[in-house]
Amino acid sequence: SRVIAFAERYHSTSSVLYFDVNGMKKINDTHGHAAGDAALNHVAGLLLTHLRSSDTVGRLGGDEFGAILHQADIETAKIKGRELVDSIRETPFNYAGHEISVDIAFGAFAFDGHRSADEILDHADKEMYADKRRSRGDAPIR
């Protein structure tokens, strides 16, 4: 809410990244729920490592994470989102002697303070699902 108010007051743009970890059921079924928890911690750690201290990262629930990029336009957010996806995909983690790779999809949405937090997250979530469809080769739903 503070970032939205800041964006509106100072006529600045910030962005939200919405991430969804793909294949959590497979990780849980193959390696156990503790491995799934480790996968989520691995993703959270990489997000925190690769974002600025001025940005905010949080788990939205289940296998979804969000990041607020303070004073970042949509192009900057998309570049950062793609960098994060690449880093997560390229950085497997070890659990109980098994190297586990994690796949992730993301969506980005920029805001200037004229939308509610729910609207912002909804738009970023829709972009994330579009990314999932693109990565599977599905045609976008219009």
pTM of the model: 0.84
Question: Whole-angstrom Cα distance, residue 26 to residue 13?
Answer: 38
Q: State the residue range of the domain holding 59.
A: 2-133
Residue 139 inside a domain? The answer is: no
- 119 domain-assigned: yes
Query: How far is residue 78's CA from residue 38's CA, in Å, rounded to a whole number?
Result: 26
pLDDT digits (tens, 9 = 90+) for 85-127: 999 999 999 999 999 999 999 999 998 767 777 888 888 989 9
In a domain, 142, yes or no: no
Give me the phi and psi of 141, to 5 degrees please: -85, 130
**Greater model confidence, 13 or 80:** 80
Question: Domain tally for the chain?
Answer: 1
CA neighbours closer than 13 Å in the CB half-sphere of residue 57: 16
Per-residue pLDDT tens over the stretch 15-41: 999 999 999 999 999 999 999 999 999
Which CATH number goes with the domain that contains 109?
3.30.70.270
Which residues form the catalytic set? Answer: 63
Residue 22 is assigned to a structural domain of this protein: yes
Diameter of the chain measured on Cα atoms: 51
